[in-house]
Structure 1
Amino acid sequence: MRSQEPRSSASCAACKLLKRRCTPNCIFAPYFRSDEPKKFAKVHKVFGASNVSKILIEVPEEQREETVNSLAYEAEARLRDPVYGCIGAIALLQRKMIELQHDLALARARLARYAATTSSAIISSDRVSMGPFGEFQVPAASCGGFIDSFSLNSYEVNQDAHMYDFSQIPYV
């Protein structure tokens, strides 16, 4: 385990910041090395040295490394966003995931309509209706129905997109 590794005579980052002598049985030494002073400074600023030592004493020794990493991550997030902390980052990622799932669903619907139009019909006239956007001239080589897939069918998909309004999700 990390706590049984031999240490150098230098104080750990916690003892340096707290301006005290680092003892051989220092609870912070295995997890806050002297070359990472900012890590402990952030954790100390958010949680306090006393609370961190209490947490480390209560946690089994094999889980202390992960506990310190979690505390450091939470402290970093809390310093960046004092109100929401890491929950704000989680909420932001969830919102982005929902938006990407919506975009993927729209892309799949367009792809399915494109596949259906290219396999069932070829543009028969030289004009394509764009629903409320009017008509436009199609060149002689009509890209095998590609333009048709983004005509009225895509407009209908976009009309249904209002039910996926994610603006009501709280932004963090």
Structure 2
Amino acid sequence: MKKTQTSHHDHHPHPHPHHEPRSSSSCAACKLLKRRCGPNCIFAPYFRADEPNKFAKVHKVFGASNVGKILNEVPEEHREDAVNSLTYEAEARLRDPVYGCLGPISYLYRRMAQLQHDLALARARLARYAARGGGGYGGGGSGSGSGCYNGGGYESIHECLPVMWNGFQSEGSNSNCSQLMNSVSPNSGCNGGDFGQAPLLPL
């Protein structure tokens, strides 16, 4: 009988003596790190099990311990934004190891400067048209009074000029900074090339 009991205990050794058993509902971080995911895991709310690549990218660029320190220092209501920022920066760094997220930022700065230059030219032309018509912005003078000359007659200012981006958000237009940010893709750039091909602007 003793021999049977000894054989029974020897038949079930610990399968992984160097790792703690993992829960079936472990988050993506604990699965990658091969550790037990406890109820107070700081990664669990932001790195779900069905998004393993999200944490893998962040871990490769920043390291799991650094990400954990950042999340512990950030207030809980801002942690999701912090994780989204880390994920975006990690993806940009993996896509462009030289410039990382500074590539898209540099592109957006140059595009903003170009749009501001175009806007200044359009306003200067509009002022000349208004001076020719004598109507100015508020009406008066010949024609329809809008002061925007177009061939044989005068039209309204909005008919003469296309909708333009004015600063970060122009009045009466849906163009804003988020739309400008969304227009950037990994394959776009000022010269149609990679972000890393363009020189950076000082921040």
**TM bucket by the smaller chain?**
0.5 to 0.7
Structure number with higher relative contact order (C-alpha < 8 Å, ≥ 6 residues apart) = 1
Q: Which runs of 4+ in 1 moved over 4 A?
A: none
C-alpha deviation, 1:9, in angstroms: 4.7
TM-score (norm 2): 0.52
Q: How much is the aligned-residue C-alpha RMSD, in angstroms?
A: 2.9
Q: Is the 8 A contact 1:117 1:145 kept in 2?
A: no
Alignment map for 1:11-160 (pairs within 5 Å): 11-119=26-134, 143-144=152-153
Identity within the alignment, %: 76
Deviates more, 1:33-42 or 1:92-101: 33-42
Judged with a 3 Å threshold, the aligned counterparts in structure 2 of structure 1 residues 144 and 63 are, in CA distance, closer, same or farther, namely closer
Aligned match of 2:4: none
Question: How many residue pairs were aligned?
Answer: 124
Is contact 1:43-1:75 (8 Å) kept? Answer: yes
Would you say the 8 A contact 1:79–1:85 is kept in 2?
A: yes
Tell me the distance in 2 between the aligned counterparts of 1:91 and 1:78: 14
Higher helix proportion: 1
* 2:66 alignment partner AA: N
* Structure 1 residue 145 displacement after superposition: 8.5
Instruction: Provide structure 1 residue ranges, at least 5 long, that are not aligned to the other structure.
Output: 1-7, 123-141, 147-168
Amino acid aligned to 1:36: E
**AA in 2 matched with 1:143:** G
CA distance in 2: counterparts of 1:53 and 1:145, whole angstroms = 63
Change (3 A) 1:144 1:57: closer
User: Residue 144 of structure 1: CA displacement?
Assistant: 3.9
